[in-house]
Chain A
């Protein structure tokens, strides 16, 4: 890992730390208060705040995890750094696509 990837991974970790706590708090709130799926969708659909929150979350996760996967591949597989980087980019794009699809499902009206 070079200094550029290090900075990106630490920066995305710093973004994710509060988002994870809020996400867990939301899960606890929803389960403890018996909020139904319909109630949740009623609050999230059309909400720019929830779209921004989970959109940012998905982007941070995609960047952070793909850098980590790149490290694992370069150290533990016979792939060259270049090929490991290409695999990591594909993995990150897949995570972003799947994550954004999930966000779209709950925030688009």
Chain B
């Protein structure tokens, strides 16, 4: 644990470059600890994003040795082969500065996918009684733990090739609402995700599932959306 880590960090905007720093290696050290050490002890101009440090807020995702990861819960010992770390901003998003990306397009796609709950009752009516053991509710529950970190979006080859593609996170959110029996916006939602940038663009490479820090399965959610939109199309409920 005494040897220093060789840490390359992305500096600058989209046309930036990697700079290498020496950071002391410690026990139970996370990748976020390493970035924070550089910012506090070597270069205070380093820009990066974090908030909770315990895997709840989804702010600190970065590209670590080629793979998108939540840095606050990624231990250096797990990913730093040979004591080397290369930490860059998330891919598939414009770089603002250093390790901070502009996530506007990521969140706009949640809106395009109709990721907003469409209530069927008002506050003056009784609260809906939802059994937790129904198949639909269990399916909705499986995907509801998304923390919007953007790891799946950065890992997705289809997003890289097709800038219109809504991406795994927005579609997983849509799948949660499609299975929520309290929601009344499904026809508009299925219509919104049936276009050329919607769920049918997914190639099922499963990078999202492999790298999701919450162990969610966006690929399965998207497969469910493909079936549901195809059925709605054949019934004439939505158009192409």
A10 to B234, CA, bound (A): 13
Interface residue tally for chain B (C-beta within 8 Å) = 16
Cα distance A51–B12 in the bound complex, in angstroms? 65
Known: A2-B194, A2-B240. A7 touches B233 (CB 8 A): yes
Q: Does A37 contact B (CB under 8 A)?
A: no
- Confirm or deny: B230 has a beta carbon within 8 angstroms of a beta carbon on chain A: yes
Within 8 A of B (CB), among A73-101: 74-76, 81
Judge whether B229 is part of the interface by a CB distance below 8 angstroms. Answer: yes
Please tell me if the beta carbons of A1 and B200 are within 8 angstroms of each other in the complex: yes
Distance A64 CA – B17 CA, assembled complex (angstroms): 44
With A3-B240, A74-B162, A75-B162: A81-B196 Cβ-Cβ less than 8 Å: yes
Residues of chain A contacted by B230 (CB below 8 angstroms): 3, 6-7, 10
Interface on chain A toward B: helix, strand, loop, or mixed SS?
helix
Residues on A with C-beta less than 8 A from B161 are: 75-76
Chain A residues near B200 (CB-CB < 8 A): 1-3, 5-6
Q: Does B195 contact A (CB under 8 A)?
A: yes
* Residue B96 CB within 8 A of the other chain: no
A2 and B226 in contact, given A7-B233, A75-B161 (Cβ under 8 angstroms)? no
How many Å lie between the Cα of A5 and that of B194 in the bound state? 10
Query: Using Cβ atoms and an 8 Å threshold, which residues of chain B touch A4?
Result: 233, 240
Min C-beta distance of B118 to chain A, whole Å: 21
Mark contacts of A27-51 with chain B using CB atoms, 8 A cut-off: 1 yes-contact digit, 0 otherwise.
0000000000000000000000000
Tell me the minimal C-beta distance from A58 to chain B in angstroms.
25
Least CB distance from A4 to B in Å reads 3
**A63–chain B nearest beta-carbon distance, Å:** 15
154-199 of chain B: CB within 8 A of chain A: 158, 161-162, 194-196, 198
Does the CB pair B229–A3 fall under 8 Å?
A: yes
Nearest-CB residue, chain A, relative to B193: A3
